Structure 1
Amino acid sequence: MIRRLISVLLLSILALPVAAETKSMPLNMTQGVTRVSQQVYGLHMTIFYICVVIGIIVFGIMFWAIIHHRKSRGAVAASFHESTKVEILWTIIPFVILIAMAIPATTTLLAMEDTSESDITIQVTGSQWKWHYNYFNEDVDFYSLLATSSAQIKNERDKRENYLLEVDRPLVLPIGKKIRFLITSQDVIHSWWVPAFAVKKDANPGFINEAWTRIDKPGIYRGQCAELCGKDHGFMPIVVIAKSQDDYDSWLTATKATQQAAYEEEQRLLSMQMPMEELMALGKKTYLARCSMCHQPTGAGLPGAFPALAGQGVSIDPAKKLEHISVVVHGRKGTAMQAFGPQLSLKELAAVITYERNAWGNDTGETVQAAEVQAVLNGKEL
C-alpha cells in the first residue's frame, strides 16, 4: 500500500512540468516576454520541483518509518550513538543537490547582469512619486506620472481596468533591441520593477544600478515601484509600450518634434504677458494634478507635514514673490518639496504660481510670467 502511494505521488510530480507547460498556474511566477524572464521562470520551476521531490522523499521515508516501526507492531528502537556512513551521506547528498541548483542559477544571474553591447541606453530616475526617462543620444526625456484620477482613488468614480497601473506618458521601447537601463534616484530609495521583463533594480540616490532587457513581442507591460518610498508609494506605476522598430522610429520622430515645438513656444512666451484669466485656468489644472495631493485642493495643507498656501506664507507676501517662484522651481532641501523646474513647462510654472497667489482668497492680484520663472531658473533676478 505504501509503495503504491509513493509511486503514484512520484508519477504525479513527474507530470507537473508537462501540466505547467500546457496551462499556466494562476498563483505561479510570471513567465514574462523576454529570454531572461523565461530563464528566470525555468530556474524557479526547476528548484521548485527539486524541493518538492526532496519533501516527498523525506516525508515518505519518515511516515514509512513511523508506520512500520510503531510500538504496536513490537518494534524496538535500536541503540547506537553514531553512524559514519549516514553522516557522510547526509553531507554529500545536500552538497550535490546545491551544486546542481547553483549551476543554472549562476548562468541565469550572469545573463541578467550582462549589460554590454546594448543598442539603446535609457536613464531611469525615481523621485517622489514619479519616474523620469532620459533617452541617451536622442534628446528625448520626460516624466511619467500616475494617470488614475483622484476621483477614482476617493471612490467618487468607478475604477478603470488598470486602476493605479496607468500613466500619462509611458516608456516606449523597440522590440528585438538590447536596452540598457541606468537606474538612480533623486531623493529616496525606489525600485524599478517590471515583472514581464524580470527586471527589478533599486534606484538609490547617489548611485547608478544597471539592468537590461530585450523584448520579444509588441505589447503593453506594467510594473510598479517595489520599494516603500513614502506616502504615495502605491501611486508610482510603470507602463512600457513595446513597438516594432518602424513604429518606434515614428514615435521617436514625433516626440522630438513635439519637444522642439514646446521649446519654441516657451521662447515665444518669454516676451509675452499672459492674462490673469488664462494663467488662473491653467494654474488650477496644474495645481490639482501636481500639488493638491500634498497641499490639498483647498490650499489648507497637512499640519505638521505640508504647509498651507491659503492665507499665509510666501503665497500672500508681495515682497516674497521671487522666493515663492524659487521654492516651486528649485524645491526646498530637507523637505518633501520637490523641484518642479525640470518637471513643468515655463507656462505651467508661471500659471501654478499665479494660481497659488490668487486662489482661496489670497487675491494678491499679481501675475507671474514665463520670463520671471526663466530668470529664477537661470539664477538671476529681474
Structure 2
Amino acid sequence: MSIRLISALIAVAPFAANAQSQLNMTQGVSEISQRVYNLHMTIFYICCVIGVIVFGIMFASMILHRKSKGHQPATFHENVKVEILWTAIPFVILIGMAIPATKTLIAMEDTSESDVTIIVTGSQWKWHYKYFDRDVEFFSLLATPQEQINNRLQKGENYLLEVDRPLVIPTDRKVRFLITSDDVIHAWWVPDFAIKKDANPGFINEIWTKVETPGVYRGQCAELCGKDHGFMPIVVIAKEPDEFESWLDEQEVIAREAKAEEQRLLALSMSKEELMSLGESVYLGNCAACHQPNGEGIPGVFPSLKGTDMVLNDRDAHIDIVVNGKKGTAMQAFGAQLSLRELAAVITYERNAWGNNTGDLVQAADVNQFVNR
C-alpha cells in the first residue's frame, strides 16, 4: 500500500506544481521580469509574516485570556507608548517595502543605453513595428483562421495568440520600445517580459526589455479598444544576436525588392479575373470584419459598400478613402498596409462584387496617384 501511495503522489506532483504555478505571478524571461517577480515574492513573504504574527497574537489572546478562565479586561486607556509602537512598526515596515519597490520601478523606466529601438504603433486592430535606423517595418495581424473563430474548426493551441508576422528581437541586448497609437488607446503587453504600456494617440511612451532566453513569447492588447480588441495578439520571437542581425539584413533586402516590384507593377495591367480573385482574398482578410463578407456593413456602425453612391459613381473618392482613410472614423488608411497591387485589387473587387458591376478596373498606377497625398 505504501508503494502505491508513493507512486500516486509522484504521478500527481507535476499537476500540483502546475496548478501552483498558475496561481502565482509569471516569473518571466527578462532581466526586469526577474526583478519584478523577486519583488513580488519579497512583499508576499513580508505580508505572510505580518499575517502570522497578527493573527497569532489575536487567537492567542482570545484562547489564553478568555473570560471563562477568569481573566479580566485591561483598564488602560490612551497609552502613549502603545500608540507610538503601533504607529512606528507599520511605518518601518512600509519603508522597508518601499525601498526595493522604488528601485524596481526606477529600473523599469530606465530606457537609457539601449541597443535596439523599435517603434510600436497600435491601430484598430493590428500592430505596426518599425526598427529605428533600419529600413524594416511591417504590420502584424491576427493569423487565427476565421473558421476557428466561427467554431467551424477545432481551435488551435495558440488560439487568438498567433500573428502573420511576429516581432523579432535579440537576446542579451537591451531593447527599447516607443509605444504610440494611430487612433484610440491600446496597450502593448507581454507577460513574460513583465512590461505593459499604454499606446496613446499623440503621445509616445517608453518601455524596455532584455530577454535572456531565445524563444517565442506571446501577449495581447490590454486596453479595451473596440469591437475587435480581442483580436490584437502580440507575438515576439527572441533570437541570438547574430541570428537577429542576419534576419534584419534579410528583411531589408526583401523590403528593397518589394519596392522595386511596386515600381515594376506601375507599368503593368492586371486582368479582371486576377484583380477579382486577389481582391476577394484581400477584402476577406482586411475589410470583411467591419463591412461584412456580403458588403452590407453594420447599419449605424460601418457603412455598406453594396450599391452605394461612392462605390458606383465616384471612383477617385473610393480609391482615396481606401488608401488614405477618413479622419474621425474607424476607416483607417490602408496605403501603408497593403501593396499597390493589393489596393488595386480590393478596390476593383468592391466596385464589381455584390451586384455593383461597375465594370471599373483599378490598376496599381491608378492607386499610386493617391498614395501620400
TM-score range, shorter chain: over 0.9
Cα deviation per residue 1:42-90 (whole Å; 9 max; x = unaligned)? Answer: 0000001111111111111111111223232233222332111111011
User: How far is the alpha carbon of 1:24 from its aligned partner?
Assistant: 6.5
Counterpart position of 1:10 = none
Counterpart position of 2:85 = 89
Partner Cα separation in structure 2 for residue 277 and residue 123 of structure 1: 38
Partner Cα separation in structure 2 for residue 377 and residue 270 of structure 1: 13
Counterpart position of 2:70 = 74
Partner Cα separation in structure 2 for residue 35 and residue 307 of structure 1: 48
Cα deviation per residue 1:114-153 (whole Å; 9 max; x = unaligned)? Answer: 1111111110001111100000111100000000011111
Partner Cα separation in structure 1 for residue 114 and residue 18 of structure 2: 34
Counterpart position of 2:182 = 186
Counterpart position of 2:249 = 253
Q: Check conservation: 2:297, 2:305, Cα contact below 8 A.
A: yes
- Name the SS of the counterpart of 2:277 in structure 1: helix
- In the alignment, does 2:163 pair up with 1:175? no
- In the alignment, does 2:59 pair up with 1:63? yes
- In the alignment, does 2:326 pair up with 1:332? yes
Q: Check conservation: 2:135, 2:255, Cα contact below 8 A.
A: no
Partner Cα separation in structure 2 for residue 143 and residue 309 of structure 1: 25
- Name the SS of the counterpart of 2:159 in structure 1: coil
User: How far is the alpha carbon of 1:22 from its aligned partner?
Assistant: 12
Counterpart position of 2:37 = 41
Distance 1:378 1:65, change over 3 A: closer
- Name the SS of the counterpart of 1:376 in structure 2: coil
Identity %: 67
Counterpart position of 1:225 = 221
User: How far is the alpha carbon of 1:104 from its aligned partner?
Assistant: 0.9
Counterpart position of 2:283 = 287
Cα deviation per residue 1:153-176 (whole Å; 9 max; x = unaligned)? Answer: 110111110000000000001111
Give unmatched runs, 5+ long, in structure 2. 1-16
Q: Which amino acid aligns with 2:213?
A: K
Cα deviation per residue 1:163-194 (whole Å; 9 max; x = unaligned)? Answer: 00000000001111111111111111111111
Matching of residues 122-201 of structure 1 within 5 Å: 122-201=118-197
Give unmatched runs, 5+ long, in structure 1. 1-20
Counterpart position of 2:270 = 274
Cα deviation per residue 1:78-118 (whole Å; 9 max; x = unaligned)? Answer: 23321111110111101110111111111111111111111
**Equivalent of residue 52 in structure 1, options 6, 28, 48:** 48
Partner Cα separation in structure 1 for residue 258 and residue 156 of structure 2: 31
User: How far is the alpha carbon of 1:335 from its aligned partner?
Assistant: 1.1
- In the alignment, does 2:358 pair up with 1:367? no
Counterpart position of 1:27 = 23
**Equivalent of residue 346 in structure 2, options 348, 352, 368:** 352
Cα deviation per residue 1:234-264 (whole Å; 9 max; x = unaligned)? Answer: 1001000011122112211221111111111
- In the alignment, does 2:203 pair up with 1:203? no
- Name the SS of the counterpart of 1:264 in structure 2: helix
- In the alignment, does 2:304 pair up with 1:315? no
- Name the SS of the counterpart of 1:201 in structure 2: strand
**Equivalent of residue 304 in structure 1, options 300, 310, 313:** 300
Q: Check conservation: 2:130, 2:137, Cα contact below 8 A.
A: yes
Partner Cα separation in structure 2 for residue 146 and residue 61 of structure 1: 55
Counterpart position of 2:237 = 241
Partner Cα separation in structure 1 for residue 220 and residue 321 of structure 2: 29
Counterpart position of 1:114 = 110
Partner Cα separation in structure 1 for residue 135 and residue 170 of structure 2: 17
- In the alignment, does 2:209 pair up with 1:216? no
Q: Which amino acid aligns with 1:221?
A: Y
- Name the SS of the counterpart of 1:377 in structure 2: coil
User: How far is the alpha carbon of 1:215 from its aligned partner?
Assistant: 1.0
Partner Cα separation in structure 2 for residue 25 and residue 292 of structure 1: 40
Distance 1:258 1:86, change over 3 A: same
- Name the SS of the counterpart of 1:92 in structure 2: helix
Partner Cα separation in structure 2 for residue 323 and residue 281 of structure 1: 23
Counterpart position of 1:6 = none
| TM-score, normalization by structure 1 | 0.91
